[in-house]
Amino acid sequence: MNRIKVFSPATVANVACGFDVIGLALDNPGDEIEMWLSSEPGIRIREIHGADLPLEPSKNVCGVALQALVKKLPDPLNAGFEMIIKKNIQPGSGIGSSAASAAGAVVAANILLGEPFPKKKLVRFAMEGERLASGSAHADNVAPAILGGFTLVRSYTPVDIVGLPTPPGLWVTVIHPQIEVKTSDAREILKHKVLMTDAIKQWGNVAALVAGLYRNDYGLIGRSLEDVIVEPVRSILIPAFQELKIKCKEAGALGGGISGSGPSVFMLSTSEEIARNVADVMNNIYQPLGLEYHIHVSTVNQEGVKVISR
Amino acid sequence: MNRIKVFSPATVANVACGFDVIGLALDNPGDEIEMWLSSEPGIRIREIHGADLPLEPSKNVCGVALQALVKKLPDPLNAGFEMIIKKNIQPGSGIGSSAASAAGAVVAANILLGEPFPKKKLVRFAMEGERLASGSAHADNVAPAILGGFTLVRSYTPVDIVGLPTPPGLWVTVIHPQIEVKTSDAREILKHKVLMTDAIKQWGNVAALVAGLYRNDYGLIGRSLEDVIVEPVRSILIPAFQELKIKCKEAGALGGGISGSGPSVFMLSTSEEIARNVADVMNNIYQPLGLEYHIHVSTVNQEGVKVISR
């Protein structure tokens, strides 16, 4: 095989209480990457559709992630990579746009090369794409994009990724208000120090979220979706955030919060019906604001990057 | 039935990364509480063996916990409680001495009264004993003492306790150096604020510890037993702490840390043989120091307070 097309999912990082450590993958939207090997060494991005992003590999998250992979190949490579990227996840949306592209590129390349690396190892390479995109090689989007489901980044030194179970019937509703919040800016407004009392609340909730996922305990998951550290600071950047949160819960959502560094807001629900009701609530709140926005309703993606064709 | 004797276990709070939220119960040591109903209303502590503690109910953790329970009874009580307390857990040891007594008292009373409260509800009452003992109504010792196994305190407002699974074959070795570290002092030296970067590491580890317990993943449990917040501050109060930690791990322990607010240090192991080797290592380090100390080797207590006789 020397040609492949993959779907690489959008992801929700942090998942309320799990700032920088928890993430989950969506079944839609997602980027598509078509990749093929060529006899000429090097990486060439032939086309990018759907977003205005650099074709130059060293300035593109796919290129950088792929370079990281190539560097770690056991044997030197006598071939090159060509690719076409179709961006369906808008850059800056807060649902892992750069992560999806970087994850898709390394998974596609790994398959084309006969899978020299286990999936978890690919997270390291995709993280280099994140470093280019945001200045920080975080893994909380690329891990779920590659592995699917919910993931935990226990540690960065060394990178230690833990796959978590996904309770059945969990749906995600995401609203993406079309305002610009750069990951780097969203990180800058965070405080360097946090109250010990808040930190304790946060790790109680993170631990409970993990327990809830293992127990299929939707009530516990809902109660644990509280972020006392980051949300109070970042939510001021997002129009009608508090109203969204309150009314989506009233409509049956388990809970939710800011997706990644925003501006998207996610809500978890236990059925498609509730997830769509939550979408209606979001619509009702955002329509009068006169802002552009997109709403996605999705199941949790269980497998990460998927092969569409080969 | 109007007479009962219960065993109430020692507990390890915090369990390294889970400061103020995680705890686990031991099968030994434990306090013993004999309790019976009498026709005369009120609470009377008849004898206390093994420690110099006040008999006056309002100054004794058992009395205070029991008062909290009585206050919440649906109907007024036409009887009183009499009890004899046998302290096998030394006060100030850091393995939940006050929690064991408070937990034992409320469980015994609940059984004598025909179990008007579910077990989880009893945690609230026993917490009042903790408030008397340390000035803070924490639940990370009383929850495992009452419920057994590993427990998580997700939240205090409202109190939300989550039982966690115990992987098979887990052993605990505890060394109690006979130095005085008061819980209130140990809390005072803690910092009011913590670095965000440290807090993230901590909640990554707490989440991973919970996942490890659900997965029976001893490697993950071991890797997650790191406390970057409290241990660096409190461990200076404990003689040879770093040496203990390093050499116990070399002897096969998964990991460990300070038990509660210290001075006890605990280590988790995957077999009795390793747990006893770890005890030997502790002995070898502490014997030359000329300090008094006790070492306990125990399985994880799965059921909490146990009825010895009725």
Residue numbers in B near A228 (CB within 8 A): none
Max Cα separation, chain A? 58
CB contact under 8 A, A21 and B206: no
Cis-peptide, bond into residue A288, ω within 30° of zero: no
DSSP summary character for residue B39 = S
Query: Nearest to residue A43, comparing CAs of A125, A115, A146?
Result: A125
Q: How many CB atoms lie within 10 A of CB A161?
A: 23
Angle at A69 between CA A64 and CA A72, to 5 degrees: 130
From the candidates A130, A151, A166, A173, give the one annotated as an active-site residue. A130
DSSP A45-105: EEEEESS----SGGGSHHHHHHHHHHHT-SS----EEEEEEE--SPTTSSS-HHHHHHHHH
* Interface predicted TM-score (ipTM) over 0.90: yes
Q: Which two tokens stand for residue B273?
A: 């043989």
The owner of tokens 């994009």 is A145
Axis-axis angle for helices A97-112, A119-134 (nearest 10): 140
* Residue of chain A with shortest Cα separation from B156: A201
To the nearest 10°, report the CA torsion of B13, B16, B19, B23. Answer: -30
CB contact under 8 A, B199 and A18: no
Residue numbers in A near B190 (CB within 8 A): 196
Q: How far apart are CA B173 and CA A214, in angstroms?
A: 28
β pairing state of A42-49 and A80-86: parallel
Q: Cβ(B280)–Cβ(B272) under 8 Å? A: no
**In whole angstroms, how far apart are CA B200 and each of A68, A115, B19, B194, B227?**
26, 32, 13, 10, 11
CB contact under 8 A, A207 and B209: yes
* Residue of chain B with shortest Cα separation from A205: B154
Q: Which of B164, B192, B208 sits opposite A211 (nearest CB)?
A: B164
The nearest CA of chain B is from the CA of A212 a distance in Å of 9
pLDDT of residue B2: 84
* Residue of chain A with shortest Cα separation from B229: A196
Q: How far apart are CA B46 and CA B55, in angstroms?
A: 7
Q: State CA A129 to chain mean position distance.
A: 13
For domain A171-299, the CATH class is alpha beta
pLDDT of residue B167: 97
Active site residue A151: no
Q: How far apart are CA A113 and CA A133, in angstroms?
A: 26
CB contact under 8 A, B200 and A19: yes
As separate numbers, helices (DSSP H) first and strands (DSSP E) second, chain A gives: 10, 12
As separate numbers, helices (DSSP H) first and strands (DSSP E) second, chain B gives: 10, 12
What is the three-class DSSP state of A134?
helix
pLDDT of residue A135: 87
Q: Where are the beta strands (DSSP E) in B181-260?
A: 193-195, 255-258
**Residues in chain B with pLDDT values less than 70:** 1, 182-183
DSSP A243-292: HHHHHHHHTT--EEEE-TTSS-EEEEESSHHHHHHHHHHHHHHHGGGT--
Residue numbers in A near B195 (CB within 8 A): 192-194
Residue in A202, A210, A214 to test binding to B, most B beta-carbons within 10 Å: A210
The nearest CA of chain A is from the CA of B20 a distance in Å of 7
Q: Cβ(A206)–Cβ(A150) under 8 Å? A: no
Burial A250-270 (b: 16+ CB within 10 A, else e): ebbbbbbbbbbbbbbbbbbbb
pLDDT of residue A115: 96
Angle at A167 between CA A283 and CA B148, to 5 degrees: 125
Q: Cβ(A146)–Cβ(A23) under 8 Å? A: no
CB contact under 8 A, B19 and A193: no
Instruction: Give the burial class of B211: count Cβ atoms within 10 A of its Cβ; 0-12 exposed, 13-18 middle, 19 or more buried.
Output: buried
Who's near B217: CB < 8 A, 6+ residues apart? B167, B211
* Residue of chain A with shortest Cα separation from B201: A155
Per the DSSP assignment, residues forming a β-bridge with A217 are none
pLDDT of residue A1: 62
CB contact under 8 A, A203 and B19: yes
pLDDT of residue A214: 98
Q: How far apart are CA B295 and CA B100, in angstroms?
A: 18
CB contact under 8 A, B19 and A192: no
* Residue of chain A with shortest Cα separation from B17: A203
Q: Cβ(A239)–Cβ(A224) under 8 Å? A: no
The nearest CA of chain B is from the CA of A130 a distance in Å of 18
Q: Which two tokens stand for residue B47?
A: 């004898």
What is the three-class DSSP state of A37?
strand
CB contact under 8 A, B206 and A206: yes
CB contact under 8 A, B193 and A195: yes
Q: How far apart are CA A139 and CA A23, in angstroms?
A: 9
Q: How far apart are CA A95 and CA A2, in angstroms?
A: 30
Sequence spans of domains, chain B: 3-164, 171-299
Who's near B216: CB < 8 A, 6+ residues apart? B167, B168
Q: Which of A20, A204, A220 sits opposite B200 (nearest CB)?
A: A20
Q: Cβ(A304)–Cβ(A147) under 8 Å? A: yes
The nearest CA of chain B is from the CA of A201 a distance in Å of 7
- The helix (H) or strand (E) run that includes residue A175 is strand A171-177
Q: How far apart are CA A4 and CA A305, in angstroms?
A: 12
Active site residue A40: no
Q: How many residue pairs bridge chain A and chain B with CB atoms within 8 Å of each other?
A: 126
- The helix (H) or strand (E) run that includes residue A198 is helix A196-215
For domain B3-164, the CATH class is alpha beta
Residue numbers in B near A147 (CB within 8 A): none
Residue numbers in B near A205 (CB within 8 A): 154-155
**Residues in chain A with pLDDT values less than 70:** 1, 182-183
* Residue of chain A with shortest Cα separation from B195: A193
Contacting A with CB below 8 Å, chain B residues are 17-22, 152-155, 160, 162, 164, 190-196, 199-211, 214, 220, 223-224, 229
Start-to-end Cα distance in chain B: 7
Residue numbers in B near A19 (CB within 8 A): 200, 203
CB contact under 8 A, B210 and A207: yes
Q: How far apart are CA B48 and CA B85, in angstroms?
A: 5
* Fold that domain A3-163+302-309 belongs to in CATH: Ribosomal Protein S5; domain 2 (3.30.230)
CB contact under 8 A, B21 and A203: yes
